[in-house]
Amino acid sequence: MQRERSLHAKYGGVHFVQLRHAREINEFVRSLPEDKRDSLFEVIQELHNHGYIQLVNDGAWMDPEGEIHPS
């Protein structure tokens, strides 16, 4: 079952759409080699490349305090 949720990464603030259940995403991340898990950028890229999330290039980002800044 495919679920879509529009979210922002807590660190870095990138906007993405969650395409798979959180449990599946967590299992995928845990299965990544350690060198792919040491960078949030790499984890997000791997999730995107394997169809777990879709990156949204709308210019919107979230600051460290949780406020979303539209483009």
How many domains is the chain built from?
1
> Could you write out the three-class secondary structure of the chain?
CCCCEEEECCCCCEEEEECCCHHHHHHHHHHCCHHHHCCHHHHHHHHHHCCCEEECCCCCEECCCCCEECC
Q: Which domain holds residue 25?
A: 5-69
Of the pLDDT bands very low, low, confident and very high (cuts 50, 70, 90), residue 66 is low
CA dihedral angle for residue 12, residue 14, residue 20, residue 26, rounded to 10 degrees: -10
Please give the Cα distance from 2 to 71 (Å, whole number): 28
Q: Name which of 7-11, 19-23, 41-45 the model is least confident about.
A: 7-11
Note the pTM of the prediction, 2 decimals.
0.73
